[in-house]
Structure 1
């Protein structure tokens, strides 16, 4: 539910101390799965281009995508894939990049009511093995370049391997499945209350430990906030299917009939601008670090982004200076929007349409989302009071697959997600995220958050990216340390950063007592989010190397 300007509406109940997004009903029957909805959409204007692969130079019409996905579904049926309850339903594993036939595998699973479990192809083999050991897929789909990594895991699970991109001699290929003749009477599988069935299994961010297998239902909340999309839009997201943003772009393209633009390459500013130039991207969802890369690109010109009407970013905050710079390249306000959500919620919780006037906010709540701010004693807090965010989306969640203990830790019996994020609402009902609760540090007996120090350092004109973390010792606690990426062509010294922080932060416990390193890049997770723990590990490794060198 939005106001006349198209901005989300959020109201506050001062008695219950609960914030609520607007109320919105779905147009779709609760018995329909997302697969059934997409099946119908793909039948409309069948000769329209539905998907373009920039790296492979392929194009598929809606009719071709429909046929390919239906053939994948038929293959699952021929192999007796069971689709009864979540406990007994067979699962397809996916570990692949965004190549031409990945969508056919995913849509084919949706048509059949078969959940797919997507794992990022860039994570360590042990994590892939641990995750698939939870869901035990009967089929694992991967790219040829990852076959060796997947093959041993598949053997341990007695699972079949199907190659999506490339060729491996003697191994079933997606092209083999697409040779099958499709019956004219084919229809997707039907269910009672298909809305509650598990559609996909993704991975949690892994910022607080080993990624978990997160179930995502057929809820309409994944796509209903994007009903402004239509057949004239060209959508692009660099995320693979294991991230919520990757699933979001896959589903919204199918539901609203947009052109789905894909690429096997990881995000880079040059590659993104090349795709904008060739295909006229109108809608994209990026990581916050991608926005920083774009804004600080030395040769970026406004004309290169003229096609953009929606530039969403998520996964963390962007510095105010970066947002202002990014906005200067866009043709209108409201194009650049920050979003907040988490995989377990299965949707975006809030969106900020006023980045220009409230740049540090993650916006107002989306439709049918409720939020509480809770202190350490479990009491609800009011506006401008900081505490942990509890979030409710009003739908059934099947939890972490095979992990009821972890499920109970994040969602209480009343359905509230305990996010682990610390934040507050202002008097205009705009939400602000202070920091991950577990990122809170203590030095000389005083608590602080890395984000507080990062915001100060980011004000330096030669700073492109910054990550602050704690270096612990038992007598003082977590001393703040910083890894910093300088803007291209600039000269930045650690001593300059040290002095700037000293002049702008009056308290001793927030000083960079742990040290400073100027680095070429910050370690990031597969979806582009800065991985604070990995940055810290690299910092410590370099510090140890420097110490050894100085002693020799």
Structure 2
């Protein structure tokens, strides 16, 4: 007999707490009780069943957060259909290439991107449903919610042992996005078992982010209250949302954390309700963490390590005071190892590639066995991140393996420059990279995001680095560029490759190899 699916667990828990508030949607303030959300989910699930979809079919989602987005996800999980979420900001070519792999028969998308999605999927036999801002003449989510539920509704049991639960795309920071398979496995709850019915969850992440999927699932499994906002993350509005709804749980990327602590309202905001402030998805500078420490109860700050490939949080730091730069110890059932270039295991405090074994099989990248073989070997996921494990078993992430810079035989990481620049008054965030020079190798450069009310020149940044660096080679040898905004991937991560490309274009640099 197969174990209960995530959909069956969610259904069971939603039935148990019918009168609890499940969701409050901003800015309109729409409140859904669990019985309301369950009813909506069952209606959408029935609509899917009426289309005669099977558990081998995928349901596409190209939409941000809105009132009914969670119900769409739960409907997929109730039926055992894998949801295939793609960020609405992706260009049509990427949407087309990703959906050519999974070939969904049904796609829920925002009306703003309806025409783009329709054009990108013109070669597929697919039905489109608009989630909001509906164009004329299209099927809307409100029409789908009119579907009658016949008889006693029950979630479909899974027919296979390890079927896909979701397909997410990689961030695209290291090349063309790939379709990551997440299996229907209880380990998706790893790192969240502390949540209770008293918690109020919020994240700006949509379903195409791993963190957005985690929030959607844990909201239902642990019967928390979820705050949904249709607006993109704005630091001031986010802080006011915390105060208004007494948010207890929040997860965001390092770039978003930098924006939050640099916001003028941060100092006066009342954040006493926060019990869990999770930062993950990249490296966070010490300056950002120091500002968070001064404002928040230190015990509520947690640095986590997870990824789309893991489908869960692999480690979490519950001891931020003692190990402020660590992503913590492995979560139960997870193993970490550090290997060198020859694949040999390294000892404590020795730096190498971080590999993770989550104790269950990972199917890999859907439709891409070559990429899967490179990333997944003997049940170990090779992350592409460089890091080490200290004597106490705490994991540290240093940098992406491919981002290592080499200047005149001196090796260092971009984050060393970013940490230094971020200490400069008036700087919100920096993104450093190497510009290739035949004689010197990687000559460092950086794009600098400053506070709006601060006057800052490129030469001042270059001089600051030269005055405060502890080595002679740690310099902005190629220079820097002051920008109004950094280039980011659709999931909010700072995109090093895109910032480098922008820098080269603005500076008129011709790369000679």
Given the two structures, how large is their TM-score scaled by the length of structure 2? 0.95
The answer to whether the 8 A contact 1:56-1:100 is kept is no
- State the Cα deviation string for residues 142-195 of structure 1 (Å, max 9, x = none): 01111110111232112111111132332221212211221241100012565x
- Structure 2 distance, partners of 1:152, 1:268, is 31
Pairwise CA distance, 1:505: 3.1
Give the whole-Å Cα distance in 2 for the aligned partners of 1:145 and 1:118: 16
Q: Does 2:198 match 1:226?
A: no
- Does the residue aligned with 1:148 lie in a helix, a strand or coil? helix
1:187 aligns with 2:187: no
Q: 1:185 is paired with a residue of what secondary structure? A: coil
Secondary structure of residue in 1 paired with 2:216: helix
Q: 2:346 aligns with which of 378, 381, 384?
A: 381
Which residue, 131, 149, 153 being the options, matches 1:164?
A: 131
Q: 1:69 aligns with which of 25, 41, 46?
A: 41
Identify which of structures 1 and 2 has the higher relative contact order when contacts are C-alpha pairs closer than 8 Å and 6+ apart.
1
| Residue range with higher mean Cα deviation, 134-143 or 468-477 | 468-477
1:64 Cα deviation after fit: 1.2
User: Could you say which residue in structure 1 is the equivalent of 2:164?
Assistant: 198
CA deviations on 1:475-527 (whole Å, 9 max, x unpaired) are: 32211001112235333332232223223335444321111122222111222
Whether the 8 Å contact between 2:44 and 2:147 is mirrored in structure 1 is: no
Counterpart Cα distance in 2 of 1:144 and 1:286: 26
Secondary structure (helix, strand or coil) at the match of 1:406 reads helix
Q: In the aligned structure 2, how far is the partner of 1:159 from the partner of 1:246?
A: 25
State the partner residue of 1:46.
18
SS at match of 1:225: coil
The separation in 2 between residues aligned to 1:170 and 1:154, in whole angstroms, is 18
Distance in 2, matches of 1:288 and 1:140, equals 31
Deviates more, 1:47-56 or 1:299-308: 299-308
The structure 2 residue matched to 1:56, chosen from 25, 28, 37, is 28
2:456 alignment counterpart:
492
Q: Distance in 2 between matches of 1:506 and 1:287?
A: 28
Q: Secondary structure at the match of 1:257?
A: coil
Q: Is the 8 A contact 1:101 1:165 kept in 2?
A: no
Could you say which residue in structure 2 is the equivalent of 1:434? 398
Supply the distance in 2 between the matched residues of 1:181 and 1:501 (Cα, whole angstroms): 65
The question of 1:338 aligning with 2:303 is answered: yes
With over 3 angstroms needed to count, the CA separation of the structure-2 counterparts of 1:166 and 1:487, relative to structure 1, is closer
- Alignment match of 1:145 (pick from 112, 124, 129): 112
Partner of 1:390: 355
Paired position in structure 1 for 2:336: 371
Q: Using structure 1 for the length normalisation, give the TM-score.
A: 0.89
Q: What 5-or-longer segments of structure 1 have no aligned partner?
A: 1-28, 84-88, 546-552
Q: Distance in 1 between matches of 2:281 and 2:433?
A: 18
- CA RMSD for the aligned pairs? 1.7
Residues 515-524 or 368-377, more deviating: 515-524
Which residue does 1:136 correspond to in 2? 103
Q: Report the counterpart of residue 13 of structure 1 in structure 2.
A: none
Structure 1 counterpart of 2:312: 347
1:456 and 1:224 map into 2 onto residues whose CA distance is 34
Which of 83, 86, 91 is the equivalent residue of 1:124?
91
**Superposition pairs for residues 458-473 of structure 1, below 5 Å?**
458-473=422-437
Give the drift of 1:112. Answer: 0.3
**Aligned-pair CA distance for 1:460:** 2.2
- Structure 2 residue 256 is the aligned partner of structure 1 residue 290: yes
Question: SS state of the match for residue 265, structure 2?
Answer: coil
CA contact (8 A) 2:243 2:269 kept: no
**Partner Cα separation in structure 2 for residue 426 and residue 443 of structure 1:** 28
Q: CA deviation at 1:356?
A: 3.2
1:222 to partner: Cα distance: 1.4
Between the aligned partners of 2:23 and 2:399, the Cα distance in structure 1 is 38
